[in-house]
Structures are given as structure tokens and as C-alpha cells.
Structure 1
Amino acid sequence: MSNNVDMIETSPMEESSTKIHQQKEDDDHHRQCVDELRTIFLQVHRYQQEPDKHKDELSQLHARGMHLCNKLRSLNRNGRMRIQKARELTAEHRNRLDDQTLEQQNLLYELSHINREIARCEEFKSKDQQLELVSVEDFYANAPPELTDSNVTGNDPHRLHLFQLDWELMQREKLHDDCKALQTEISDLKKQIVRRRKRLRSLRPKLKQVVKSTEPVRRYIESQFDDTNNLSQSINNPLIAKLPDPLYVLYSLVLAYQQCDGRHVTCQIESKEDSSTTNSSMDTNSDGIFINGDHQHQSLMRPHPLHVKMSLILSPDHTGELLFTFLPHLNIVTIQGKLTGLKAQQSQTLTSTLLHNLLDDNDNGQLSPNPTTDFLFQQQGKSSPIFSDTNGGYPYHWIQQLCKCQMVPLQRQELATDCSEIIKRLTQRMRARIALDRILINLEKSEMPLLAEGHETTHILNSSLRRSINNLPIFRSCREISFDDIHKYEHIQTLINENLIDRITTSIYECKFQSLSQDENNKTMLYAHIFIPPNYPQARSIILLKLISTINGNKTIERTRINSENIKIFERSLIFDVTYPSMISSGSGSVDLSQHFTLLAQQIWRLSIGFPLLIDAESNLTCTSRRRQTLLSRLID
């Protein structure tokens, strides 16, 4: 096989050498023929001078010359044929060279095109690089096993990226299906709403017929009861038809309660011209549009021009006013509370948290209970507003529930109650604030608060604590302090870390007591920090103590619950052990609310009476822990 290849490879060279050799032979023959013809021509020329004598030689020379001419003609023909073949071969090689040159140009063009394609592919940025894929840790944690095989994806980042794209596609298809299901549910709900609206429209003529048929009965009742006349005026108020649905529900419930058992409750409808307090507090102009803030924020927070005002007559000097406002764009109802007749300097503190935590300890009304509020403000590039008295009132959960404004969350369904229960709790809360106002008035005057009217305070203390109140410490002062003032104290950090106080809604007071020691160089001061929650007295006030003793006029010893077990026991007795037999009725076991509202006064009296016992326990350095508890047991028993 190799020999054949060698023969095939060497045959063109042999053929070329053969042609060259043959051409040389032809050239030699041509030269010989020409030389021989030249010789013959010379001989013929010489013999022609004597033709008769050389006749035979001339004939031979003529034959030989003709033979040589034929041979020259043959050589000439061979030369021409060789030239023709050379030309043909040259043309063939030229054509082949042209074809190869063209093929080379095509290959070069194709090579440049491929290089451009390679460069474009290398510079190409796929859209999958713009996708926000989940992290590799989440992918391995949540993706199915067939996509998270570490043997396949461990050393192949490209395969890992492909599997991540597959997982992303699966998740997006699932979300797309969920979105379709939710859209179907939304369409079903819309159809249900349309169907129910049609049914409600069909009920309107029937209700009008019922009202018309009961007109004689209503006129008879109005003629029999004088109190019903005022109620009739409220019912026939032409503004009722213009109320939004939530305020209409509220107005109807309050009127029903007023008719049944609410002589101390009044309810009326106010327009935006009448409720000047609302316009001033929400910074609106005569058209009800916000003056401060951008227009989009104004449109979302714009209230309905009609408001419902409810008044609770608590005493001849005290009246509670509640103003209900509806925000149509947010679909929530806000409330502003005011309690008139308070005389303490901290009356604003008493009313700022007047309605906080009425039914729920976490309902402070600062955030909107409607989840769509966050979405609406995020669309405008704003954060959700923080509601307050100066921002239209508080949208408490209980008022949304009372007005049937929106569904109650599952965790709050157990707190659902009716209008009568809410009004009773409002009345109780306001009466507790009135009692707290009386206590704060005494504290501002550096006087001990009264536990009851007249001389019953001394009787309650002597009958409950079995101790004389003549040897009491000196009550120096009482002042309201801020959260920043007490945040630096170490013994209060525990209370803050356990989230037992709310820095916004909790009122903080500092009371200062001094022992009856006549020696100015050895005196003891007791600082009591009182934390009053917004839902006082349902939640009791927390009192933390700090005892400062001065020895020989220059050495000061500070004791708190951190370094004194006696103070810790004393604080516990102030919170958990303030109960009196007079507060519990012997028959039904119900709580006497008049005593219940004076819990803070009882705590301060117990603090004042227990101060000498605390000094005795702290000064007796040799007593054991059991002895210290015995000294303070009189406060707990």
C-alpha cells in the first residue's frame, strides 16, 4: 500500500522529467536535421553546376532532403502540440490557482465572519444575567434533589446556573398559577359583591314600605314619651342620608344604646364647617384639603366632610367628647377623644392616651388597621403615616370593628364586643382618668393623695394596714419626666429590655420622699419612678425605687433592686399586694370601681408607710435574708 502511494506521489515528477528529456531529444534532432539540410543544400548547390554528372547524387540528396523536411515538419508539429499542451496545462493551472485563490478568499472571509461571531458571542449578555436568582444556599435548601446533586453541580458552575434557572422557572410558574387562582377568587368576590348589591337595592323599597307602615306607631310613641322627641330629631336628621356607611352604622348603634340605656350619652352629626377642631388639627382649608404636605398625601388623608360626635356626661364638671371621622380613601374610621374638666398640669398627658389599649394591650392606634394603607402610600413613594391627635385621630381596631369598616383579624376575634360594652369601657376609662387627675393634683401640691372622700382615707389605711399614719416620711415633690431622663438608670433597663413599658404611651412620674431624721448629715431619700400605662387601672402602675443614704454629710450610698433584695420585695408588694377588703363586696364579689380607680393612691400610701420599714431593713446589716423578709412581711400580709 505504501509503494502505491509512493508511485502515485512520484508519477507527476517522472512524467515531467520524461517530457523534458523528450523535448531535449527533439531539440537535438531538429538541430541535426537543420545542420544536415544545410550540408545537403551546399552539396546540391555544388552538384548543380554539373547536373548530368551528379544526377544520381542529386536524386539521393533530394530524397534525403525531403525526408529531413518531413522530419522537421514532424518536429515542428510535436513542438506545437507540446506548446498547446503547455498552454492548456498553464491555463488549467491558472484556473486551478484562481479557484484556490477564490477559495482562500472565501475561507478568509468565513474566518473573519466566524471571528466576529465568536467576539459577538463573547460580548453577548444574556437576559438570564439580569434575573435576581435566589442565593445558592436557598437553592440547595429548597430545590428538589434532582437539581441539587452536588456531584453534578459541584465542579460545574454552568450546570449549576442552568439548574438555578430551571428552579426559578418552576417557582415563577407556581406563582403565576397562584396569581391566576387569586384573580379567579377576586372575580368571584366581585360577582358576589354585585349580587349582594343588587339584593340590597331590592331591599330599599321594602324598607321604605316598612318605615311608612310603622309611621303611626312611631308618632304614637313620640306622643307618649318626651325623651323620644329628642331622639326623633336625631333620627329625622337630614344629614343621616349623607353619612358614609361606617359612620351610619356607628350613629345607628349609639342612638339605639341611647334609647335603651344611655341617658348620659348624646350623639350628633357635625359637618366640616361645624367641626372647627378637626380642620385645625388636620391642617385643612375650607374645602377639606390639607395645607401641609404634597397633594397625593393630602388626597389619601382627606376626611369625609361629615363627622359623628358622641358626648359622655360623667359628672357635672366632667364631660367626655369623642369625634369620629371617616377617611374614604383609606377606608378607616379615626377617633379623637377629649375629657373636659381636668385640672392637673399633666392633663394633656391624661388625654393623649385616653383611648389607648381599650380592648387590646397592643392597640395604640398609631398604625392603620387596613393593610391596603401601606400599599397605597408605597405607590406614592411614601411611608405609612403615624396617626395622632394632630393627624386626624387614632384608627383603633375596636372602632373599625364597631363601625363594621373591615374584617377583624383572627387573633382579635375573641376581643369582639358590642356597642354597649365599648361605651361602658369608655365611661370606666374616663372616670379612671378623672380619679387619676385628682391624685395628680395632690401630688403636684406635694400632698399625699386621698383614697376616698372626706376622712375616709385615714380609716381605710388604719383598717387595712393596721398601722398608724402619724409617723410618715416627708413627701418632697412629684414631677413628670420623660423617657430619656430615666433611660440612663441601670435598674430601669430590665423593665425596658422586657418591653414592659411603651416609651410613647406610658406616663412617667418621679416622687421624692425624705425620712424624718433630724440629722442633716445622715438623711435618707427615696426616689420612686412611677410608670402609668395607658390602660390604667386595668393594668397597674409599676413603681421602681432608688434609695439614697447620706452618711456623715459626704458619703452617699445608692441602693436599687439590683443590689438590694429588700427593695425588690418592697417593689413587688407595691404592684401585687395592693388589695383591700373594702374593694371586694361580700355578696357578689364585684369590684368597687371607686376604690379601683384609686390604685395609684393606694400604692403611694403603701410606699410612704413602708419607707421606714425599708430603712430599718437596710440599716440592720447583721440580719439575715430571712429576717429581712420578716421585717417587710407586714407590707405583704
Structure 2
Amino acid sequence: MIAQQKEELSQLHARGMHLCNKLRSFNRIGRMRVQKARELTAEHRSRLDDQTLEQQNLLYELSHINKEIARCEEFKSKDEQLELVSLEDFYANAPPELTDPNITENDPHRLHLFQLDWELMQREKLHDDCKALQTEISDLKKQIVRRRKRLRSLRPKLKQVVKSTDPVRRYIESQFDDTNNFSQSINNPSIAKLPDPLYVLYSLVLAYQQCDGRHITCQIDSKEDSSTNNTTNDTNSDGTYTNGDLQYQSLLRQHPLHVKVTLILSPDHTSELIFSYLTQLNIVTVQGKLSGLKGQQSQTLTSTLLHNLLDDNDNGQLSPNPTTDFLFQQQGKSAPIFSDAIGGYPYHWIQQLCKCQMVPLQRQELVTDCSEIIKRLTQRMRARIALDRILINLEKNEMPLLAEGNETTTILNSSLRRSINNLTTLRSWREISFDDINKYEYMQILINENLIDSITTSIYECKFQSLSQDDNNKIVLYAHIFIPANYPQARSIILLKLLLPTNGNKTIERTRANSENIKILERSLMLDIVYSPMTSIGSSLSDPSQHFTLLAQQIWRLSIGFPLLIDAESDLTCTSRRRQTLLSRLVD
């Protein structure tokens, strides 16, 4: 029993020791786990502290970056104040390395930087140019100082020269009697009242008069009632105004002052040019008069006195100001056709001379110098005087006189003149209208080709007749002569019509349409008269009388060629080659 108890006690003791060991093992394991948990907790705490510190640092850095962003956004750069060139100019002028589209189109910031680089390059270049100009200015200032010193040193010498030339100056002043008149023209109080275009004209003519003005005078005249001088009150049958109402008159009203230029051509011939200014239309008109003409048809010569002075398209009937049509359309009327009755002709050369800014581009190259215009006017007047002398003889059915020594006089004295068997005489000379020539078919070529102007061309009919004893066999030659306004710079055109009598009191009509001989004679009248034309405005002629008697030479050549034409047309056995040779003797 006791042994059994001891054995049980030993078993319990062994079991207790086993349990104690096991408990000690569990205690050690628990301590180890607690230690590991503490270490893990410390590690996580350390990591949490590091992350918390890093978070605080990041938050601080974020706050700093936000402040920097706000500061950058609020920053005002100086490049924003610069006025950069446009993108079109930048792409057109900048170098290729700054205008690469692969970079600039996708990156506006790079584009702006490139623009700033280009602006810097341009400003550096301008800065260099400015330095060069400043250097040049400083050099010029030094030259000015040197020359000013030289001029100051010349002043005593100039005074001495002026003092020594006083006797010569007094002698020259005593030789000119019109010095006082010229000074009165300069000191005329009416000059200040002239409109600008007339003032320019008056100044130019006075300057020309001072240089070479013994044959020209210029003065200012006034019109007391200019509003009633240039238009008339025409009314219809119902009493309404046609072109004389107040509004129409106000558009055509002239300035009270006008400039009168007088050209003294000879003791018997003077020309007056009256320049007026239409204030509403802003144009200058001119009325030309030539006194001393004695021909019955002198009115025709003066009506186209100033037409086509510089070119063939300036007849002065239409206003050169483009606004004229608009102003009259506002009044429900059409623009007027200018004439002497309205107040003169507004030629283009007058507007250019008076500096009215309405000159077409195609006319800007024409000569409009005052001295050259006056020389051209003088030549036109002298040509009209010479033409008047020719017309006086023709109106009396007499052959015109020629200047001695010209080409036609040589023909008259040649053996050709003495070999003519059929004599001719001038029977009539008369002026005809433009409507009279429309009935002739052979003249339609001139009308269709616009070779003659119905406004500026004077048309005459000249009749030659052969001196035959038999009245029924008299041959008649009609010459239609077209004299342009710019004669003799432009030659007269002559068309012929020959009437040949036949048996039975019938006549055969020959014109350029059915006769080669007439064509040859017309060509001889136009081209084979040799004279020295003017090469430029104002240049002198080698033989002025030969130039102005061009029409007389054509009439004489026609009188000489008429018998040759009769021989060529009447000789039926003569071949065409022989007829042409017969008329070609005129050319030789």
C-alpha cells in the first residue's frame, strides 16, 4: 500500500515535473513572443514615425511648391510688355532654325521663346544701325561746323563783290522798262484772294515772264457777276428750267477772279487766254481768243484753238474731275458739254499745270512744265496765223503762197512742171460739215477706223478743174481735206474724187476704191512732203515757214499731180505699171 502510494507519488512527482517543465517552456515561448511582438511594434512605430515625418516634409514641400506656383503665376515678365512682330512676319523673315513647324506648332512656349530670340536679333541689328547713324550724324555736324566757318569767312568777300557789281546792276535795271510793271504784278493785293489752282498758274506764268517774258503778260481780272456769265436760264414750254435753275448754276459758278494771259505773237496778232476756276467742280477752264485773223472761216480756227494740245484725246468737252457726273446726277441732270458759252474748256493739261489732283495715270508722263506749255501754245497760235493766211488765198480761189526755198517751189520750177500739157485751176474752196461726208462710201474707212474726230477736225472741200476749151470735156477733181486740231504736228488727210466726162454727158467717178492712181496721189500728198517736224516740245525748226505752210505744199502738190492723174486715167493704152510710174514722178 505504501509502495503503491510511493509509486503513485513518484508518478505524480514525475508528472508534476513534466508539467513544470512544460509550463516553463510555455513561459519561455510566451516571453519570446512578447519580445518579438515588442520588437515588431517598435519597428512599426519607427516606420510610422518615419512615414509621418516624410508626410510632414511632403506637406511642407507641397505648400512651398504651391507658393512658388502662385508667385510664378502672379509674376509679370517684361517680355509681356514687348510688341512682338506678327506670326506672319515671324515665319516670313525669321531664320529656319527658329521657325521649324514641327516644334513651334505643338509648343506655344517654344514658339514664344523663338519670337523673343528673333526680337533680340532684330534689336541688336537696329542698335548697330543706330550707332552707325549717330556716327554719321556726328561727322555731318563736324562738316557743318567747318562749312559754316568757311561761309562766315566768305561773307566779307561777298559784300565786296556785291559792292563792286553795283554799277552793272544799275545798268541792267535801267535797260528793262517793265521792271515796275512786274513788281506791281507781284505786289498785287488780289493774289491773296485767288483760289489755289489759279494762284499756282499765276505764279508759274509770272516766273516765266520774269525769265523770258517780253511776249507774254499776266494779270488778274474780276467778274462782278460770275454766276450769271457762265449759264443761261433756258426753259421748256411748260415753264420748267432745263439747265438754268439755281442748283445747276451753282455747280457751274465761277470764282469772281480769273487769270488773263496775253501772248503777243506779232504787231497784228495777239492771243488771250482767260483761265477761270469752277469752285463746286474743282476744275479750271480756259477760253482762248486769237485776234488779227482775216479769213472768213477764222471762227473754225478759233473754235478748236486749244484742242489736243498735248495729245489726241483732250478736246476739253468733258470734265476731267470724276465727281462731276455724280454731282449732276444728284440734281437729276447729266454732266454738261463744256464750251465757250459755259465758261471755257477744262483741258487735262490745265489741270496738270494748276496742280489739280485728278490726272489719269496714262497722262502723268506728258510734259506739263509751264515754259514748255507756253512754247507749245505759241507754236499753235503761229500755226493758226499761217493757216489763216493760206485760207484767205483759198477762199479767193487763189493758190496759197509758199515760203521761199521749200520743196514745193522746187517742184514748180522743175522740168516736170513745164512738161504738163493739161492745165488746171482752183475753182472753189468751202467748208463742209461732218454730216456731209457720211454720204460718201469711200470716206467710211476714215470714220470706221476713227482717223478723224467729228469734234476737233475741220473739213474742207476743194474743187480743181482742167482748163479745156470744150466745156463738156472738163475734168473735175474734188479734194476733201481733213485738218486736225493739232495741225501741223499732225498732217492733213486728203481724199480725192475724180469725175471723168464720157460720151453722152455722163461722168465716171474715180476714188481710192476703184483707182490705184488716186491711192498713189493721196499717198504722195500725205507722206512725200518732206519737212522737219518738232522732235520735242519747244524745240526750234530748221525752217519754220516750211512747217507752217504744210497745207499750202499739199495744195500745190495736188495741183501739179492733177494733170498727171488725168494722163494716167485718160490714157487707156497705158499699162498700170506705166501709170504708176507717171504718178511716181511726184515722189522723185
Category of TM-score, reference length = shorter chain? 0.5 to 0.7
Tell me what 1:37 maps to: none
Tell me what 2:433 maps to: 482
Q: 1:370 aligns with which of 321, 335, 345?
A: 321
Q: Judging changes above 3 Å, is the alpha-carbon distance between structure 1 residues 582 and 296 closer, same or farther for their aligned structure 2 residues?
A: closer
Tell me what 1:341 maps to: 292
Q: Which moved more, 1:571-580 or 1:263-272?
A: 571-580
Q: Using the alignment, how far apart are the partners of 1:548 and 1:380 within structure 2?
A: 55
List aligned pairs for 1:142-221, cutoff 5 A: none
Number of aligned pairs? 409
Q: Please report how far the alpha carbon of residue 416 of structure 1 lies from its aligned counterpart in structure 2 after TM superposition.
A: 2.9
Q: Please report how far the alpha carbon of residue 582 of structure 1 lies from its aligned counterpart in structure 2 after TM superposition.
A: 12
Tell me what 2:514 maps to: 563
Tell me what 1:515 maps to: 466
Tell me what 1:620 maps to: 571
- The C-alpha deviation readout for 1:286-345, integer Å capped at 9, x for no partner, is xxxx99612111111000000000000001110010000000111000000000000111
Q: Judging changes above 3 Å, is the alpha-carbon distance between structure 1 residues 538 and 456 closer, same or farther for their aligned structure 2 residues?
A: closer
List aligned pairs for 1:584-623, cutoff 5 A: 590-623=541-574
Tell me what 2:367 maps to: 416
Higher helix share: 1
Q: Please report how far the alpha carbon of residue 467 of structure 1 lies from its aligned counterpart in structure 2 after TM superposition.
A: 2.9
Partner SS, residue 389 of structure 1: coil
Q: Judging changes above 3 Å, is the alpha-carbon distance between structure 1 residues 507 and 370 closer, same or farther for their aligned structure 2 residues?
A: same
1:248 aligned partner, one-letter code: Y
Q: Judging changes above 3 Å, is the alpha-carbon distance between structure 1 residues 580 and 386 closer, same or farther for their aligned structure 2 residues?
A: closer
Q: Using the alignment, how far apart are the partners of 1:564 and 1:458 within structure 2?
A: 25
2:290 aligned partner, one-letter code: L
Q: Please report how far the alpha carbon of residue 622 of structure 1 lies from its aligned counterpart in structure 2 after TM superposition.
A: 3.1
List aligned pairs for 1:284-363, cutoff 5 A: 293-363=244-314
- Whether the 8 Å contact between 1:308 and 1:325 is mirrored in structure 2 is yes
Tell me what 2:379 maps to: 428
Q: Judging changes above 3 Å, is the alpha-carbon distance between structure 1 residues 537 and 330 closer, same or farther for their aligned structure 2 residues?
A: same
Q: Using the alignment, how far apart are the partners of 1:465 and 1:272 within structure 2?
A: 63
1:364 aligned partner, one-letter code: N
Q: Judging changes above 3 Å, is the alpha-carbon distance between structure 1 residues 281 and 583 closer, same or farther for their aligned structure 2 residues?
A: closer
* 2:216 is aligned with 1:268: no
2:357 aligned partner, one-letter code: Q
- Whether the 8 Å contact between 2:230 and 2:343 is mirrored in structure 1 is yes
Q: Using the alignment, how far apart are the partners of 1:254 and 1:413 within structure 2?
A: 21
Q: Please report how far the alpha carbon of residue 463 of structure 1 lies from its aligned counterpart in structure 2 after TM superposition.
A: 5.6
* 2:216 is aligned with 1:255: no
- Whether the 8 Å contact between 1:354 and 1:534 is mirrored in structure 2 is yes
- Whether the 8 Å contact between 1:267 and 1:311 is mirrored in structure 2 is yes
- Whether the 8 Å contact between 2:221 and 2:259 is mirrored in structure 1 is yes
Q: Using the alignment, how far apart are the partners of 2:574 and 2:248 within structure 1?
A: 67
* 2:417 is aligned with 1:467: yes
Q: Judging changes above 3 Å, is the alpha-carbon distance between structure 1 residues 583 and 612 closer, same or farther for their aligned structure 2 residues?
A: farther
Q: Using the alignment, how far apart are the partners of 2:409 and 2:488 within structure 1?
A: 23
Partner SS, residue 332 of structure 2: coil
- The C-alpha deviation readout for 1:464-505, integer Å capped at 9, x for no partner, is 785349864111010111111111001111111111111122
Q: Using the alignment, how far apart are the partners of 2:553 and 2:327 within structure 1?
A: 49
Q: Which moved more, 1:223-232 or 1:608-617?
A: 223-232
Instruction: Report sequence identity in percent.
Output: 79
Q: Judging changes above 3 Å, is the alpha-carbon distance between structure 1 residues 465 and 561 closer, same or farther for their aligned structure 2 residues?
A: farther
Partner SS, residue 342 of structure 1: coil
- Whether the 8 Å contact between 1:583 and 1:596 is mirrored in structure 2 is no
Q: Using the alignment, how far apart are the partners of 2:327 and 2:268 within structure 1?
A: 44
Q: Judging changes above 3 Å, is the alpha-carbon distance between structure 1 residues 344 and 555 closer, same or farther for their aligned structure 2 residues?
A: same
- Whether the 8 Å contact between 1:314 and 1:431 is mirrored in structure 2 is yes
Larger Rg: 1
- Whether the 8 Å contact between 2:532 and 2:543 is mirrored in structure 1 is no
Structure 2: give runs of 5+ residues left out of the alignment: 1-164, 234-240
1:438 aligned partner, one-letter code: R
Partner SS, residue 439 of structure 2: coil
2:283 aligned partner, one-letter code: I
- Whether the 8 Å contact between 2:314 and 2:348 is mirrored in structure 1 is yes
Q: Using the alignment, how far apart are the partners of 2:433 and 2:180 within structure 1?
A: 50
Q: Judging changes above 3 Å, is the alpha-carbon distance between structure 1 residues 315 and 223 closer, same or farther for their aligned structure 2 residues?
A: closer
- Whether the 8 Å contact between 1:522 and 1:553 is mirrored in structure 2 is no
